[in-house]
């Protein structure tokens, strides 16, 4: 059985890209180094490691009002996530909350998936819609965006400049 924690007590998160062709060098195009709830709390969590980068920790609540944490990869386009203290199901809608103050994340717009909404996580301590990331609140929906200086940057645009 694989270990869940390393010798320092950090959660070990497998890197699915390790299965790519040997010798290929993968470097992230965009990595979230700090992100904030509407109250200004930094939700980057040093206790999770995604290919050398700390994860984004969210408190989540499902439709049955059960709560736990979801840790997301900070690497844009990497959809790796880990659920702690909660079982999540594909297609399930979750409430996304700050793990520190439990503030909810505001809606940017309706997602293209059936029932989801894109939730805004600011890249600035003074909450900003124009410098933010947006993620869908439906488990398994891969819609995510970076909004930088008011311009929407999507995964396809990032791949085009590689």
What is the band of 7 on the pLDDT scale with cuts at 50, 70, 90? confident
* Of the candidate ranges 69-73, 85-89, 148-152, 157-161, the one whose mean pLDDT is the lowest: 157-161
d(CA 70, CA 56): 8
Beta-carbon contacts of 151 under 8 Å, excluding residues fewer than 6 positions away, are none
CA atoms within 13 A on the CB side of 131: 12
pTM: 0.76
What is the band of 10 on the pLDDT scale with cuts at 50, 70, 90? confident
Q: Would you say 53 and 31 are in contact if contact means Cβ atoms under 8 Å apart?
A: yes
Q: How many CB atoms lie within 10 A of CB 47?
A: 13
d(CA 65, CA 92): 12
């Amino acid at each position: 059985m694989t270990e869940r924690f390393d010798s320092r007590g950090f959660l070990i998160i497998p890197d699915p890209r390790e299965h790519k062709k040997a010798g290929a060098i993968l470097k992230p195009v965009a990595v979230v180094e700090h992100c904030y709830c509407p109250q200004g709390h930094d939700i980057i969590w040093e206790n999770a490691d995604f290919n050398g980068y700390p994860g984004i920790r969210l408190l989540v609540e499902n439709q049955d009002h059960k709560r736990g944490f979801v840790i997301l990869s900070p690497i844009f386009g990497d959809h790796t996530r880990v659920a702690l203290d909660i079982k999540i199901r594909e297609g399930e809608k979750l409430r996304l909350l700050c793990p520190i103050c439990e503030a909810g994340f505001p809606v940017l717009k309706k997602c293209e998936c059936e029932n989801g909404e894109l939730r805004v996580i600011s890249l600035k301590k003074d909450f900003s819609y124009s410098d933010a990331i947006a993620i869908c609140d439906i488990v398994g929906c891969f819609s995510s965006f970076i909004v930088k200086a008011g311009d929407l940057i999507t995964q396809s645009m990032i791949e085009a400049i590689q």
